Amino acid sequence: MNRIRHILEIKGYDTWLVRPDAMVIDALRLMREKDVSALLVMEKGLLVGIITEQDYARRGEVAGRSAYITPVRMIMTAGPITLHPDQTVQEAIQTMGEKHIGHLPVVEGGKVIGLISAGDLLRDVIYHQKRTIQTLESRLLAETPRGKEKQKASNAPFKPGFPLGG
């Protein structure tokens, strides 16, 4: 199974940051601008939290807090659970499932190096399942006389149509 590091190498290490004293509206605007659903909350170079669209939905306006006058620290998830880049995709999926969270910061040597979403993990799992299925189908076809004919007719190599590959 793939490691978190592999997913970061493919998707990139970009992370978007906000300070805990920034207004929620500024965090929401940055999310919209960068087309992301979570930002890391950093203070003096340290990860102090994460703010997600879900945090805003649950602890923002619905809870009577205006995005224009509420600081991020009031609605963020403080002290988020983190991953190490050498952890497996399966471990990350298990953590997200058990803790009911959709984003995990990736930390190595005390520094944040990336952010993984449930969508990132899902894309990786689907890609590898498709690849396994195609490999098994090719092996099965190769073992039958009719399959050998089909295999000769189709010399097209495997071309992953998915952004995450190995």
pLDDT digits (tens, 9 = 90+) for 6-15: 999 999 999 9
CATH code of the region 4-121 = 3.10.580.10
Rounded Cα distance between 14 and 49, Å, is 17
Q: Are 51 and 80 in contact (CB under 8 A)?
A: no
Rounded Cα distance between 11 and 5, Å, is 10
Chain-centre distance of CA 145, in angstroms? 43
**pLDDT band for position 101 (cuts 50, 70, 90):** very high
Residue given tokens 């592999």 in the structure block: 6
Residue 91: both structure tokens together: 């471990």
Q: Are 14 and 106 in contact (CB under 8 A)?
A: no
Q: Domain spans of the chain?
A: 4-121
Rounded Cα distance between 100 and 151, Å, is 45
pTM of the complete model: 0.76
Q: Are 96 and 102 in contact (CB under 8 A)?
A: yes
pLDDT tens per residue across span 123-149: 888 877 888 788 888 888 887 776 556
Which pLDDT score is estimated for 96?
Answer: 95
